[in-house]
Structure 1
Amino acid sequence: MKTDNTSQLNFSLVGFTSIQIGIYILLAAFAIETLLLDFLDADTLGLSSEINLVIAITTITFFTVLFSFFALFFKGKRNAKQQQLQLWNKKSVATFWIILISFLSIYGILFFVYTQNLEDFITPTFLLFYGLLLFAFHKKERKNLLIISGICLLFSIICFTIPTYWYSSLVILGVAHITYGVVNR
């Protein structure tokens, strides 16, 4: 295995990785929407606990982010092996920690929004920070990633004004990731 003097980033959001992340976002949006509708339909008297619903939604989003990280990791591992480079070089480790801290910060902000009883603003806040995160990590040769970042920012504005548009926004974000993965194979 070669040691890389010019440290390169092995994690990329192209091809099958982006398709996987898009599918995870679609599945999470569908699961949360189904959970909310079933909760509202089955609990007409308000006897079920809201905390169970919050735990279920938090679990769904946690596993969505975890599987997305795994998709990025295994794609990076495959790229590093093909190029006979180290997976964990200085740039990869720094990027990993920045992304991990960013997502933990996003979760903290979303939890704060929830505790302030502003549930309608959870999705637009997520879309806003996710769009900013994608913008921060785009490469010059990957200008199409700016489109997904722009979509996130646009839908965050729409969701701030029309809170019920959250499901459609997440579905479109998932489809955008899938399309980006197909186009950039």
Structure 2
Amino acid sequence: MSKIFCLETEWVQSVHDLKSDSYVKPLLEFLLNTAPHSGIDSYTFRNVCCEKDFEYYIEHLRNKSYFDYNIVYLCFHGGPGDFAFPADKKDKDKEPFSLIDFADQYEGIFKERPVNVHFGCCLTLNTNEDDILYFKRKTGANMVTGYERSVPFVESFIFETWLMNAMAKHPDFRATRMQEFANKEMPFYVDKFKFKAY
């Protein structure tokens, strides 16, 4: 059985944003409610508005009491090689948080146990492969997955439900096997989103 550690952004920045509910939490609840078929037995979920929030929550993964979380699921607005925090986007001089920034700031955060990191973000893996492999190596991630294209919410809900289930049911899969499995089981979404596993 697997545990998911999920951080999700505040998607819409407006006066009404506190009235919006999580997009990803229903997916996590579905997986939990269908255990043991889903292979997910628990999750930890937090909303993240700014880099300080992210820093506070992601640092928990260094604590041994979180070592049994083997899927890290990051849901943000994305761009090629990066993802963004909505509160920080208001600062015109603030750059998005890149994979390289993450790797350098949180070196070794996933070491000592097998952790699969999934970026539920548009375009984040549409970047130099060397940068993705640097992120993987520097953080100690077992596998890194995500998309090279933009990803609509409804379709991504379907695919990511499958993906979380696949990761939980096949904890021994490395990137090549996961990519082959996704190509075989979910070819439409793999092609549409340009899903990649590293």
Calculate the TM-score normalised by the size of structure 2: 0.26
Structure with the larger RCO, 1 or 2 (CA within 8 Å, 6+ apart): 1
Greater strand fraction, Structure 1 or Structure 2: 2
Greater helix fraction, Structure 1 or Structure 2: 1
